[in-house]
């Protein structure tokens, strides 16, 4: 696990590129504290910071070249099946100089070119330079677990070259990358508290999307997708029975977890006590000695938000070591620091706070941790899926009745600051019931409505595109599928890759911890997509298939526990310990160049008076505001 950066310039004479890359790499040291190096190879300068996980020897440091000196690579990630691929390469006569997965990627590219991507099981972002053909190859893993930002060298096209980096803030240290905030980026961010797809908050910067590769040659550029998840949703696999599918899944999961435990450093697991992380932990205990398994959990003094008791209960059940930590008053002094560390590009997910503490705490004991991320999207675990089902029940009611009911509930139902409280869910549900199925699914993820954005965004113009259009495109991709499958496909391609995995990468890499997510093995993702939707959500039973797979493994207390999610008590904090800090950030900063100050003041007033719970909106604005002011200072 590492940080990578590089620049390709067709004019070799620019002697400043080496220093430019050194500056970029200095901002990626947290991603790889064990070793860093910048190397100039004719038209290309590659930089790398290393967090040593596989093959700790210095011979595995990067940038790495093959034996011939023709090919060079910088790589961030892990290839879990690299030993299997290595055997194939040995049969082709390849001679290896290291025991690293980095060299396996490089040699795979030499043998199979872009087709090498089909062999890799893992998370990755890498760049390979072919010195002879003057060709740069960039690729990103199927689900986008590892990030890659890029910028045309001249800011317009690739005629002069390209600059790339694992992080946006590092990329911005290159003198050619201009700090110009995108109005479209802010417009999208206000909708969702994150930015979708290849878009970026900085004009001209793009993200290489998941499951894509890019080839850059002189006067030639191509960008292609190499893996298509939609075909697995559309072409369902025929099983003789559900039992057959359950057996296949358990075998697939155990094989995946076993591969993802390969490490030359200490390894553990996140354990909230929910079904997802518990399933991963159970598989770990099944595939290696329990004495080698350690579980890590974070909690809060606010009882509704803490999952430490469930974590301890399950650790005791499996007789493994449990490490847990309660977060209290320290959030007050850490709050802005956490935003600065994790806000590479603004992301307003409140769970970034506990995730930061969890990764920092875990890193005190191990260097690699497994997580349960991805199960909710694959096996239908979110409340929004339940809302989709319930919406069908209300479909016979006229829209004017639903709109009036929603207005009445908003006026008279008291605001509660409990974790995803009933009043919050009821209000969100009713406000989306009068919409189409597609619009409602987007609405239940929505932070600021278009009308509210138009009212508060100073730079609004009718050329701004609603992020709903991206949602609709993904719905259309699998338009022939059941709506639950459509919603799952959309969430995998939006919420999961652009929010959940971004948060996981940012928080873990800030603390130099590698996180692995077995549910995101592309084989498990393909398997889940090919299941009948009624198996995954049985009536109103969410995640029914996953729970059945663990029925003889996990205790009932865990199997049937109410889903809590991994949010922080931000609504409570914003009325108490973080009130002054967050208000100062949102009301006394450069954000008012974009958002009307009186609109922000109104949100605070309504939240503080318990009239409306604006915690998600205010947290998103706080993250955005802090990012703008911090970047301008730097």
What's the confidence (pLDDT) of residue 230? 97
Bigger pLDDT: 32 vs 615 = 615
What's the confidence (pLDDT) of residue 432? 67
Which residues face 68 on adjacent strands?
none
Residue 398 has pLDDT above 60, yes or no: no
Cβ atoms within 10 Å of 589's Cβ, excluding its own = 17
The closest of 264, 293, 445 to 367, measured between CA atoms, is: 264
Q: Which of 116-125, 468-477, 509-518, 564-573 has the weakest average pLDDT?
A: 564-573
What's the confidence (pLDDT) of residue 422? 53
Reading phi first (left if > 0) and then psi (alpha if -120 to 50, else beta), residue 335 is in alpha
Instruction: Say how far apart CA 246 and CA 551 lie, in whole Å.
Output: 11
Query: Is residue 50 within 8 Å of residue 35, measured between CB atoms?
Result: yes
Mean pLDDT of 518-534: 97
Residue 81 has pLDDT above 70, yes or no: yes
CA-to-CA dists, residue 545 to 301, 311, 380, 535, 539, angstroms: 33, 22, 9, 6, 12
Tell me the pLDDT tens digit for each residue of 589-601: 789 999 999 999 9
What's the confidence (pLDDT) of residue 203? 96
Mean pLDDT of 194-219: 96
2 is catalytic: yes
What's the confidence (pLDDT) of residue 471? 92
Query: Is residue 54 within 8 Å of residue 78, measured between CB atoms?
Result: yes
What's the confidence (pLDDT) of residue 13? 58
Confidence label for 412 from pLDDT (cuts 50, 70 and 90): very low
Dihedral Cα 258, 109, 100, 2, nearest 10 deg: -90
Tell me the pLDDT tens digit for each residue of 486-503: 999 999 999 999 999 999
Question: What contacts 24+ positions apart, CB below 8 Å, involve 453-456?
Answer: 453/187, 453/190, 453/191, 455/596, 455/599, 456/595, 456/596, 456/599, 456/600
Mean pLDDT of 580-592: 92
Query: Is residue 379 within 8 Å of residue 528, measured between CB atoms?
Result: yes
Confidence label for 408 from pLDDT (cuts 50, 70 and 90): very low
pTM for the model: 0.93
Among all chains, which residue has been given the structure tokens 């317009």? 156
Residue 26 has pLDDT above 90, yes or no: yes
Confidence label for 401 from pLDDT (cuts 50, 70 and 90): very low
What's the confidence (pLDDT) of residue 496? 98
Instruction: Say how far apart CA 564 and CA 306 lie, in whole Å.
Output: 9
Written as six digits, the tokens of 118 are 């089909």
Query: Is residue 143 within 8 Å of residue 519, measured between CB atoms?
Result: no
Tell me what the pLDDT averaged over the chain comes to.
90
What's the confidence (pLDDT) of residue 35? 84
Q: Report the Cα 631 to chain-centroid distance in Å.
A: 22
Query: Is residue 297 within 8 Å of residue 324, measured between CB atoms?
Result: yes
Confidence label for 578 from pLDDT (cuts 50, 70 and 90): very high
What's the confidence (pLDDT) of residue 287? 79
Mean pLDDT of 367-395: 87
Q: Which of 129-133, 335-339, 570-574 has the weakest average pLDDT?
A: 570-574
Tell me the pLDDT tens digit for each residue of 287-324: 777 777 899 999 887 666 678 889 999 999 999 999 99
Mean pLDDT of 105-113: 97
Mean pLDDT of 117-130: 98
The closest of 493, 483, 479, 477 to 534, measured between CA atoms, is: 483
Residue 409 has pLDDT above 50, yes or no: no
Mean pLDDT of 95-117: 96
Task: Quote the percentage of the chain above a pLDDT of 90.
Answer: 74
Task: Quote the percentage of the chain above a pLDDT of 70.
Answer: 91
Collapsing DSSP to helix, strand or coil, 589 comes out as coil
Q: Which residue among the candidates 2, 116, 200, 481 is catalytic per the annotation? A: 2
Query: Is residue 625 within 8 Å of residue 582, measured between CB atoms?
Result: no
Confidence label for 406 from pLDDT (cuts 50, 70 and 90): very low
Written as six digits, the tokens of 595 are 């958002």
Tell me the pLDDT tens digit for each residue of 213-251: 999 999 899 999 999 999 999 999 999 999 999 999 999
Confidence label for 328 from pLDDT (cuts 50, 70 and 90): confident
Tell me the pLDDT tens digit for each residue of 129-178: 999 999 999 999 999 999 999 999 988 888 899 999 999 999 999 999 99
Residue 390 has pLDDT above 90, yes or no: no
Tell how strand 2-9 and strand 161-165 pair up: antiparallel
């Amino acid at each position: 696990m590492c940080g990578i950066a590089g620049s390709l310039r067709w004019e070799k004479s620019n002697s400043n590129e080496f220093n430019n890359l050194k500056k970029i790499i200095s901002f990626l040291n947290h991603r790889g504290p064990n070793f860093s190096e910048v190397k100039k190879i004719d038209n290309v300068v590659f930089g790398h910071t290393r967090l040593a996980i596989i093959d700790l020897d210095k011979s595995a440091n990067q940038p790495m070249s093959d034996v011939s000196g023709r090919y060079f690579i910088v790589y961030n990630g892990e290839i879990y099946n690299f030993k299997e691929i290595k055997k194939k390469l040995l049969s082709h006569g390849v001679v290896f100089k290291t025991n690293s997965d980095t060299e396996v990627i490089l040699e795979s590219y030499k043998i199979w070119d872009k087709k090498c991507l089909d062999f890799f099981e893992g998370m990755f972002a890498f760049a390979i330079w072919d010195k002879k053909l003057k060709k740069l190859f960039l690729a990103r893993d199927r689900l986008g677990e590892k990030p890659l930002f890029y910028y045309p060298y001249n800011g317009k096209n690739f005629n002069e070259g390209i600059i790339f980096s694992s992080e946006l803030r590092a990329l911005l240290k290159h003198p050619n990358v201009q700090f110009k905030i995108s109005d479209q980026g802010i417009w999208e961010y206000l909708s969702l508290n994150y930015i979708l797809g290849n878009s970026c908050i900085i004009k001209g910067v793009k993200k290489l999307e998941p499951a894509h590769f890019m080839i850059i040659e002189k006067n030639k550029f191509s960008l292609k997708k190499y893996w298509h998840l939609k075909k697995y949703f559309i072409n369902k696999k025929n099983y003789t029975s559900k039992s057959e599918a359950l057996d296949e899944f358990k075998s697939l999961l155990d094989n995946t977890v076993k591969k993802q435990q390969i490490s030359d450093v200490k390894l553990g697991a996140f354990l909230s006590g929910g079904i997802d992380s518990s399933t991963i932990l159970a598989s770990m205990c099944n595939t290696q000695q329990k004495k080698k398994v350690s579980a890590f959990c974070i909690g809060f003094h606010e009882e509704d938000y803490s999952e430490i008791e469930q974590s301890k209960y399950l650790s005791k059940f499996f007789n493994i070591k449990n490490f847990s930590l309660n977060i209290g008053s320290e959030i007050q002094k850490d709050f802005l620091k956490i935003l600065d560390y994790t806000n590479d590009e603004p992301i307003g997910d409140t769970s970034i706070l506990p995730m930061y503490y969890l990764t920092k705490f875990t890193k005190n004991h191990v260097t690699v941790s497994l997580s349960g991320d991805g199960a909710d999207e694959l096996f239908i675990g979110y409340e929004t899926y339940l809302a989709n089902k319930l919406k069908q029940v209300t479909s016979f009611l006229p829209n004017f009745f639903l709109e009036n009911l929603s207005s009445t509930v908003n006026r008279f139902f008291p605001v509660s600051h409990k974790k995803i409280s009933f009043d919050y869910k009821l209000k969100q549900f009713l406000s989306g019931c009068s919409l189409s199925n597609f619009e409602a699914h987007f609405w239940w993820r929505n932070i600021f409505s278009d009308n509210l954005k138009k009212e508060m965004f100073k730079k609004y113009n009718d050329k701004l595109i609603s992020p709903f259009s991206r949602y609709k495109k993904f719905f259309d991709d699998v338009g022939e599928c059941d709506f639950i499958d459509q919603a799952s496909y959309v969430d995998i391609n939006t919420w999961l890759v652009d929010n959940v995995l971004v948060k996981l990468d940012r928080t873990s890499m800030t603390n130099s911890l590698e996180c692995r997510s077995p549910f995101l093995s592309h084989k498990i993702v393909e398997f889940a997509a090919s299941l009948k939707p009624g198996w995954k959500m049985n009536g109103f039973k969410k995640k029914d298939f996953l729970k059945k797979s663990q029925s003889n493994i996990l205790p009932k207390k865990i199997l049937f526990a109410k889903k809590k999610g991994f949010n922080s008590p931000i609504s409570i904090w914003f009325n108490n310990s973080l009130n002054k800090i967050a208000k100062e950030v949102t009301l006394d900063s450069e954000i008012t160049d974009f958002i009307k100050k009186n609109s922000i003041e109104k949100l605070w007033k309504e939240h503080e008076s318990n009239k409306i719970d604006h915690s998600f909106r205010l947290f998103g604005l706080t993250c955005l505001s802090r990012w703008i002011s911090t970047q301008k200072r730097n």
